[in-house]
Structure 1
Amino acid sequence: MTTRDATTDDTTLPSGDAPDTTEATPPSSAYGLGRRLRIMGAVLAGGLAVVLALLLWLGVLVPAKQEAAGYSAADSAYAAVAIEHNAQAVQLAALAPGRSTDDDVLALAVEVGETSANRVGALAAWLEEREIAVPAAGREALALAADGLDTELPDNGSGPRAGAGAHSHEGGNHGMLTDEQVDAIAALDGSEFDIALLSALVEHHYGGLQPADEEITEGKDADAKALAQAEVDAIRVEVVEVRAVLAAIGGPGSNDGSGS
């Protein structure tokens, strides 16, 4: 026997003794299922990590950032609410030109609108200094005031509004009017408009006292508390002025027998 023959005989198994490798290779379907399960597990783990990171950010990092900056959630919430409140006062004041013919009403509307716009600007600056987003209503109110509150601005009959949805509120909260209530005032003119506008401003201004008072007692940031105190002081003065003009034109509180 040659060396080649011996090697062949030693390494070649009988045909009946060939190893069966079928069980060592998993079916393709089982492999695909396992792969999908591993992918799903990775996706779920990634999603859980995102959720945990968000909870950490909301529960730890945000309060820590506020603490380091010297303000609280109550301070930032007040600034946002007060901006929306003053923004609506600007919107109401902008209705007067073109609807009122009373010089006192027109002058008062400009005063209220400009004062409210100034408060929006101060509150927006407070938020921006702390890298907090300014409500859209505030930016739009400032744009409305910049166009001039002493001249009639073009509108579609419901008032010169800076943008649709500028006030996404339901009304009845802190004296805020609903869009439907603003529309009803905008549909009037002459003395009916004057009385409706000034009556709405009285209720609206009084409503702004509550969030400001809460900030004064519960706020942390000294600047925010000072803005709230300035708001309270200004509201009390403005309400007296509005009620005086309202009474003079025969609205509620007048002494000529035409008001209630």
Structure 2
Amino acid sequence: MTPQDSTTEETAQPSGDMPDQRPAAMPSAYGLGRRLRIMGAVLAGGLAVVLALLLWLGVLVPAKQEAAGYSAADAAYAAVAIEHNAQAVQLAALAPGRSTDDAVLATAVEVGEASAGRIRELADWLEARDIPVPAAGTEALALAEGGLETELSDGGSGPRAGTNAHSHEGGSHGMLTDAQVDGIASLSGSEFDIALLAALVEHHYGGLQPADQEIEAGEDAEAKALAQSEADAIRIEVEDVREVLAAIGGPGSNDGSDS
């Protein structure tokens, strides 16, 4: 056998079915590089979104406010005042079906309609600046447009001017708690009349706080004017409600003193 023949025999592939024992192919440098580039692009995209959000919150929003002439405090006042007036509409809507006193019913309608009017003005101010209007305000307007002189089917718990208007701890600028509203709604006749009007007095007095703060520290002239108008209206409405409350034997009926 020649050396050439021996080499040929030694390197020849064995016959028969033998399992493929070749090692698995390792990822190519191209494939690994491609994956790394994709991961880098994803991370870079996420970082860009975060940076854009921070830029929007920290630079663009204040810049937009400055250009439009309003501050975060102005926007906060409008939102708080809408929530406050929404609950006033809600309280007013309790009267039909629970009260039989014409003066109480008329007062409830007046308070509810005035509060709805303030919500419309404040909502217009927010919308003109592309600021979302609180859902409570929108739903309170729908409640008022349904007619505050008509008894509503409310299951005994009172009509709701939206979840936001009736989901709070209460106590802040005269806002009533869920339990307080439910307690008023459970009454009827003279007990209801006294409880409703007394609650409206406390509620309205509470609304003076954010209005007076805006008048003193606000930047937007229109927002400050809305706050001044609201404060003036609240003071008049409180006196009207107190007169009716005294006339039906509520707090202050004997000597006209403050409740």
**CA distance, structure 2, for counterparts of residue 34 and residue 170 of structure 1:** 57
Amino acid in the other structure paired with 2:229? A
Q: Give per-residue Cα distances to partners, 1:137-170, cap 9 Å, x unaligned.
A: 1111111111111121222211122444544322
SS at match of 2:174: coil
Does the 8 A contact of 2:109 with 2:149 survive in 1? yes
- Which residue number corresponds to residue 26 of structure 2? 27
- Which residue number corresponds to residue 236 of structure 2? 237
Runs of 4+ deviating beyond 6 Å: 29-34
- Which residue number corresponds to residue 77 of structure 2? 78
- Which residue number corresponds to residue 11 of structure 2? none
- Shift of residue 193 of structure 1? 0.8
SS at match of 2:131: coil
TM-score (norm 1): 0.83
Does the 8 A contact of 1:93 with 1:112 survive in 2? yes
- Which residue number corresponds to residue 123 of structure 1? 122
- Shift of residue 124 of structure 1? 0.8
| Alpha-carbon spacing, 1:92–1:35, altered in 2? closer, same or farther (3 Å) | same
- Which residue number corresponds to residue 49 of structure 2? 50
**CA distance, structure 2, for counterparts of residue 241 and residue 76 of structure 1:** 30
Q: Residues 213-232 of structure 1 correspond to what in structure 2 (within 5 A)?
A: 213-232=212-231
- Which residue number corresponds to residue 155 of structure 1? 154
SS at match of 2:173: coil
- Shift of residue 27 of structure 1? 2.8
**CA distance, structure 2, for counterparts of residue 31 and residue 156 of structure 1:** 69
* Bigger shift: residues 231-240 or 168-177: 168-177
Amino acid in the other structure paired with 1:117? A
**CA distance, structure 2, for counterparts of residue 29 and residue 156 of structure 1:** 71
| Alpha-carbon spacing, 1:217–1:162, altered in 2? closer, same or farther (3 Å) | closer
Does the 8 A contact of 1:86 with 1:117 survive in 2? yes
Does the 8 A contact of 2:156 with 2:186 survive in 1? yes
Q: Residues 1-260 of structure 1 correspond to what in structure 2 (within 5 A)?
A: 27-28=26-27, 37-255=36-254
- Shift of residue 83 of structure 1? 0.6
Q: Give per-residue Cα distances to partners, 1:182-204, cap 9 Å, x unaligned.
A: 11111111111111111111111
* Bigger shift: residues 175-184 or 78-87: 175-184
TM-score (norm 2): 0.84
**CA distance, structure 2, for counterparts of residue 32 and residue 187 of structure 1:** 72
- Shift of residue 32 of structure 1? 7.0
| Alpha-carbon spacing, 1:29–1:189, altered in 2? closer, same or farther (3 Å) | farther
* Bigger shift: residues 151-160 or 222-231: 151-160
Q: Give per-residue Cα distances to partners, 1:8-59, cap 9 Å, x unaligned.
A: xxxxxxxxxxxxxxxxxx9339887766554443322222211111010011
| Alpha-carbon spacing, 1:162–1:172, altered in 2? closer, same or farther (3 Å) | closer
**CA distance, structure 2, for counterparts of residue 189 and residue 208 of structure 1:** 26
Unaligned runs of 5+ in 1: 1-25
Does the 8 A contact of 1:84 with 1:167 survive in 2? no
Unaligned runs of 5+ in 2: 1-24
Q: Give per-residue Cα distances to partners, 1:213-242, cap 9 Å, x unaligned.
A: 111111111111000001110111111111
Amino acid in the other structure paired with 1:48? L
**CA distance, structure 1, for counterparts of residue 170 and residue 31 of structure 2:** 57
Amino acid in the other structure paired with 1:182? V
| Alpha-carbon spacing, 1:224–1:111, altered in 2? closer, same or farther (3 Å) | same
Amino acid in the other structure paired with 1:88? Q
Superposed CA RMSD in Å reads 2.7
* Bigger shift: residues 150-159 or 160-169: 160-169
* Bigger shift: residues 169-178 or 80-89: 169-178
